[in-house]
Amino acid sequence: MALTIAGSDSGGGAGIQADLKTFAVLGVHGTSAIACLTAQNPRRVLAVEPCPPKMLRQQIEAVFEELPPRAVKTGMLFSAANLRVVADFLGARTGRRRVPLVVDPVMVSTSGARLLQPAAEKVLREALLPLATLATPNLDEAEILADQKIREPEDLRSAAREIVRRFGGAVLVKGGHLTNSREALDIFFDGETELLLSAPFVRGVSTHGTGCTYSAAICAALALGCDLPHAVETGKNFITSAIAGSYRIGRYFALNPAGAMPVRRWRGGSVR
């Protein structure tokens, strides 16, 4: 079993909806705690309404009481109060009771809408990220967390190292939007092991919810007992095939896992 704590996407392409689809495809029973409601479609976010903190905590408590997850992921939490609820609950679970935690630090949507209140960023940095087994920032989020620009593949490495230095745990910096790159490059770093994960760009497809799906696939792999590097590679394979198998919904594309694409594995040295 796996638990996602995230926002609901009324368009069905991201958030809780994407996470539960991913868990199901990978053979993991998915549970959920909804941190906020969004009114959105593939083009824009119209409104965001956070869940009351007490209700969010009760959802998490209900899952852990009878359906204890073997891995947890967080997505859009939006408010400082809800970030604190999640950090306090998971932080209290120590030792053998602590489950792997994947933190997708959702800050801004693809369309540019802010998905994290300004006051919540401090709680994210100080309370939640230090608990993470793995953080999965995209380029924009990695630039904020590492306080540096990312323009070249080598910048992915330095950002990953800085994020681990600041927050501990491990990080997967997702470079799918890196300009002047012929492949979708991501860097995994856990303080010792460094992996370059690459896959060909899928041209002509503009998708929504890739970050949610990627981190959910990693969470599912951890729930199935994979070690962290293997789980990250599983996630990369999954998101690559999901993008490649995208199908049209009206004027847009929806992710659809289909087939498997190889991922090259690399250790140390230079990305260049």
Mean pLDDT, contiguous 10-residue spans, the chain (272 residues): 96 92 94 96 89 98 97 96 97 81 86 78 96 95 94 92 97 82 88 91 73 95 96 93 80 66 39 34
Q: Determine, yes or no, domain membership for 265.
A: no
| Residues marked as catalytic | 174, 207, 209-212
Q: Determine, yes or no, domain membership for 272.
A: no
Please tell me the predicted confidence (pLDDT) of residue 21.
Answer: 93
Placement of tokens 């120590």 in the chain: 94
Please tell me the predicted confidence (pLDDT) of residue 94.
Answer: 67
User: How many domains does the chain contain in total?
Assistant: 1
Q: What are phi and psi of 12, to 5 degrees?
A: 80, 5
Please tell me the predicted confidence (pLDDT) of residue 204.
Answer: 64
At a CB cut-off of 8 Å and minimum separation 6, what does 62 contact?
none
Q: Which domain holds residue 58?
A: 2-254
Please tell me the predicted confidence (pLDDT) of residue 256.
Answer: 76
pTM of the model: 0.91
Q: Determine, yes or no, domain membership for 263.
A: no
CATH number of the domain within which 173 lies: 3.40.1190.20
Please tell me the predicted confidence (pLDDT) of residue 264.
Answer: 41
**In 10 A of CB 162, how many CB atoms?**
18
CA distance 201 to 221: 23
Please tell me the predicted confidence (pLDDT) of residue 114.
Answer: 72
Please tell me the predicted confidence (pLDDT) of residue 111.
Answer: 57
Q: Determine, yes or no, domain membership for 266.
A: no
Q: Determine, yes or no, domain membership for 206.
A: yes
Q: Determine, yes or no, domain membership for 267.
A: no
Label the pairing between strands 71-74 and 45-50: unpaired
Please tell me the predicted confidence (pLDDT) of residue 12.
Answer: 87
Please tell me the predicted confidence (pLDDT) of residue 268.
Answer: 40
Please tell me the predicted confidence (pLDDT) of residue 79.
Answer: 95
Please tell me the predicted confidence (pLDDT) of residue 19.
Answer: 96
Given a contact cutoff of 8 angstroms between Cβ atoms, the answer to whether 232 and 198 are in contact is: no
Q: Determine, yes or no, domain membership for 122.
A: yes
Q: Determine, yes or no, domain membership for 262.
A: no
Please tell me the predicted confidence (pLDDT) of residue 43.
Answer: 84
